[in-house]
């Protein structure tokens, strides 16, 4: 099994953990367009220890769903330790600890970014988990809790490295910012300069060009992409092409339709109808300019068959349009 440093060196563009988004179906979709390394949705430590079916499903990794890390969260170090042991048995690539979720129902209870209010306890919790499991342990966090003039992330990065953490992902906003304001990548650069372990920069990476710029500006080992992948999974393909010195190609209409088809088919296979069909609508923007025209008809469907029929009609229309445009161009050229 590759180390975290080897994983990020081989594939520096990762899919971020996103609750109710980065599940097995979406990981498969993103992996098909270049997201070689993925992280699960965060898994509640107490539920995982108790054997709750939803938590167990989240950590079940199919043979083709690798390398994938399992992310755990909780406010109690003992519970996180127990959850790490359970997660380790699922044989992920590594175990990630969520110390960055800002949502009040999570952080307000001391989990996620709530750990930033108690850095000493956070470091000791990480140290205990590293000492207990054989797999690499990583931490995903933010640059600080609130509006401090000096963010704690640089010192915290050093201390987490000393605790044995194998890599650190930094979302470059404070917990109190949530998703508001601009991510300040300079903090990832400062943390990266202070440690030897890989640092992965996260936040406001919306395009392949952003990924390249984030790596260039911070010197980080990798980038982690979250919300940017929901509307545009091809961001991984684009980033990898640019990093290799190539050109980032926009998806064709046919690719856009095929991508939505893949998303809705996988979601329905996992969740059934109509839920799988309905939840796929969050990815409408993968259809690009086609979305506005087919949205009313598409959203009227509650079944997979009906949804696929709408997509087939759109594909036929775009195919006919391309043929007609080609014929018109040929006629003009003559």
Supply the CATH number for residue 98's domain. 3.20.20.70
Q: Is the pTM of this model over 0.85?
A: yes
Q: What is the pLDDT of residue 334?
A: 31
User: Is cis: bond before 67, omega within 30 of 0?
Assistant: yes
Cα–Cα distances (Å) from 124 to 120, 177, 236, 252, 290, in that order, read 6, 26, 35, 50, 51
Do 211 and 310 fall into the same domain?
no
Please check whether residue 248 lies inside any domain of the structure. no
Does 259 lie in the same domain as 218? Answer: no
pLDDT of residue 318: 80
Three-state DSSP string of 205-238: CCCHHHHHHHHHHHCCCEEEECHHHHHCCCHHHH
Both 203 and 275 in one domain: the answer is no
257 and 307 in a single domain? The answer is yes
Last residue of a domain, one of 220, 243, 266: 243
CB 286 within 8 A of CB 263: yes
Among 185, 219, 243, residue at a domain's last position: 243
98 and 171 fall within a common domain: yes
- Number of folded domains in the chain? 2
Do residues 26 and 90 both lie within one domain?
yes
168 and 278 together in one domain = no
Backbone phi and psi for residue 158, each to the nearest 5 degrees, phi listed first: -60, -45
CB atoms within 10 A of CB 197: 20
* Residues 61 and 185 grouped into a single domain: yes
DSSP state of 272: -
Q: Which two tokens stand for residue 164?
A: 């044995």
**Residue 34: what pLDDT?**
96
Shared domain check, 190 and 119:
yes
User: Can you give the residue range of the structural domain that contains 264?
Assistant: 253-333
Are 181 and 142 a contacting pair, CB within 8 Å? Answer: no
**Residues 279 and 160 placed together within one structural domain of the fold:** no
**50 found inside a domain:** yes
Residues 38 and 59 occupy one common structural domain = yes
Q: Domain boundary residue among 192, 214, 243?
A: 243
Among 30, 38, 99, 101, the one annotated catalytic = 101
Residue 101 catalytic?
Answer: yes
Mark whether 266 and 233 lie in a shared domain.
Answer: no
Alpha helix ranges (H) inside the chain: 4-10, 24-31, 45-50, 53-59, 77-89, 104-107, 119-132, 153-162, 186-194, 208-218, 227-231, 235-243, 253-271, 275-279, 291-299, 304-333
Residue found by looking up tokens 């009313």 in the block = 296
Residue-level pLDDT at 148: 61
Do the Cβ atoms of 197 and 165 come closer than 8 Å? yes
All residue ranges of the chain with pLDDT < 50 are 321-334
């Amino acid at each position: 099994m590759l180390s975290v440093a080897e994983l990020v060196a081989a594939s520096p563009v990762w899919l971020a953990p996103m609750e109710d988004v980065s599940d097995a179906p979406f990981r498969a979709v993103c992996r098909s367009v270049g997201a070689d390394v993925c992280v699960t949705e965060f898994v509640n430590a107490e539920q995982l220890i108790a054997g709750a079916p939803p938590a167990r499903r989240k950590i079940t990794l199919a043979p083709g769903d690798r390398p994938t890390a399992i992310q755990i969260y909780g406010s109690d170090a003992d519970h996180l330790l127990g959850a790490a042991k359970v997660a380790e048995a699922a044989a992920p690539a590594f175990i990630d600890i969520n110390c960055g979720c800002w949502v009040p129902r999570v952080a307000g209870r001391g989990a996620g970014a709530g750990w930033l209010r108690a850095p000493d306890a956070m470091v000791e919790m990480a140290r205990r988990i590293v000492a207990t499991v054989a797999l690499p342990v990583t931490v995903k966090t933010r640059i600080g809790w609130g509006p401090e003039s000096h963010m704690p992330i640089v010192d915290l990065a050093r201390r987490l490295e000393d605790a044995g953490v194998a890599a650190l992902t930094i979302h470059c906003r404070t917990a109190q910012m949530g998703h508001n304001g601009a991510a300040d990548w300079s903090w990832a650069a400062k943390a990266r300069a202070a440690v030897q372990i890989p640092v992965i920069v996260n936040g406001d990476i919306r395009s392949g060009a952003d990924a390249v710029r984030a790596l260039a500006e911070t010197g980080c080992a990798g980038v982690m992409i979250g919300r940017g992948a929901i509307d545009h999974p091809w961001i991984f393909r684009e980033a990898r092409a640019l990093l290799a010195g190539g050109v980032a190609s926009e998806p064709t209409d046919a690719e856009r339709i095929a991508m939505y088809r893949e998303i809705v088919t996988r979601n329905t296979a996992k969740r059934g109808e109509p839920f799988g069909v309905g939840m796929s609508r969050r990815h409408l923007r993968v259809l690009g300019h086609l979305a506005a025209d087919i949205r009313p008809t598409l959203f009227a469907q509650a079944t997979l068959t009906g949804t696929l029929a709408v997509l087939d009609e759109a594909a036929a229309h775009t195919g006919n349009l391309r043929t007609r445009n080609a014929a018109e161009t040929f006629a003009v050229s003559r």
